[in-house]
Amino acid sequence: ADLEAGLKCSDDAAVHEVTSVKSKTWFYRGQLYTKVFQEKTLKAKYPNAGVEAANAFIKLNDLKDPKFKDWEEANRYIGAISIDLYNQGAEYYDAKNYAQAAKLWTFTKNLNSVLEMHKGTQVFKTCDLLTNIAQALDAANDNAAATSSMEEAYKACPDSVKYLPNLIYLNKKSGNKERAMELVDLGLSKQPSNAALLSEKINVFLSKGDVLGGLAFVNNLIQVDPKNDQAYVIKGLAYDSLSRSESLLAANKLTKDAAIDSMVTSYKKSIEINPGNATANNNLGKIFIDKANLLITKSNSLGNSSADTKLYDELQVKIKQHYEEGFPYLEKAFQLDPNNPDIKRSYNQVKIKLGK
């Protein structure tokens, strides 16, 4: 009852032409609404109490009153309401009310700034709050505001690369690929072994169809993230491109067979890390199809001499061996992704050849 009576007086003071410009008005208002927000029964009756408390302390700061000397006490209330608003925002986020979560976390961020200005103990790191706000806004499909919040986070903590992946993602999502790539290169200049940034750089090359261009970055990624099965798939694709170009093989001082061996090794390593990688299984199986097809072409060019007939029979054995070696991988890929047309085609082709 006393708190509610105090709220009535505070509401009147907040709009009165004399008291509305006094720092004590907003200090007491912030205290009152913080206490209401923390009192379970009253919180249900005044659901906006936390926001009212936050607005009161923000107004107190905006007044810039040199005569106000109670910042140490004010900071204790600001710290308390900051935690309460953050937790309420998390509840909204879990309930998928992302816009409301972003709103409450924005109040927390603004209060955090007030604490910083008046030498209070900051409960949260501003950059982390801005990141949370950006994630909530992104989930609420407000990409422009989410990107703006993430840009602010990066500017607030320019030496920290950990905020860049989210900012890169948001810029890519909004179609600003140029800015995204600028951020990737900026991040790698600071942390050349950052796995998330290396993955982004590799994706740039892949989006351009330049698998070979990304090979150096793939090797760097494997060094820092040796359990990344997809990196080995990309490495396999790079060697596939190499194996199909005489000029590239010569430039890299590789034979075609050596490039194919590197493909096999890469895909096998990917499968070793993650047996459920359908692409690695399919690509490895197709290598053996290609080996069989080369022998089929060779066998079809043979004549009718006894030597050719003998060689033909030997080639048929090897062709079957290649199919049998590749089939388990193709079968696994089909089990993992039966609706993929490329996987389905390769699997059925070898299944028929082996009479299964």
Question: Which residues, other chains included, contact 264 with Cβ-Cβ below 8 Å and sequence gap of 6+?
Answer: 284, 287
pTM reported for the whole predicted model: 0.65
Give the CA radius of gyration of the chain: 32
pLDDT at 25: 97
* Residue-by-residue DSSP string for 5-69: HHHHHHHHHHHSTTGGG-HHHHHHHHHHHHHHHHSHHHHHH-TTHHHHHHHHHHHHHHH--TT--
Find the Cα–Cα–Cα–Cα dihedral 128, 134, 137, 139, rounded to 10°: -90
Look at the block and give the residue holding tokens 């140490």.
72
Handedness of CA 143, 148, 150, 151 (dihedral sign): positive
Handedness of CA 181, 183, 185, 191 (dihedral sign): negative
pLDDT at 247: 86
Tally of helices (H runs) and strands (E runs) in the chain: 18, 0
pLDDT at 232: 93
pLDDT along the chain (356 residues), means of 10: 87 94 96 94 92 97 95 96 96 96 97 94 90 96 94 84 88 88 89 82 76 82 91 90 85 89 96 96 95 93 92 94 96 95 93 89
Look at the block and give the residue holding tokens 């308390």.
80
Tokens of 352: 């028929």
Is 266:236 a contact under the CB 8 Å cutoff? yes
pLDDT at 105: 97
Question: Which residues, other chains included, contact 100 with Cβ-Cβ below 8 Å and sequence gap of 6+?
Answer: 89, 92
> Residue 200's CB: how many other CB atoms inside 10 A?
23
> Residue 136's CB: how many other CB atoms inside 10 A?
27
Handedness of CA 75, 76, 82, 85 (dihedral sign): negative
User: What DSSP state is assigned to residue 17?
Assistant: T
Query: Amino acid identity of 106?
Result: T
**Length of the chain in terms of residues written:** 356
Which among 146, 187, 140, 188 has a CA at the least distance from the CA of 163?
187
Query: Amino acid identity of 230?
Result: Q
pLDDT at 1: 55
Which among 55, 167, 47, 43 has a CA at the least distance from the CA of 108?
55
pLDDT at 42: 92
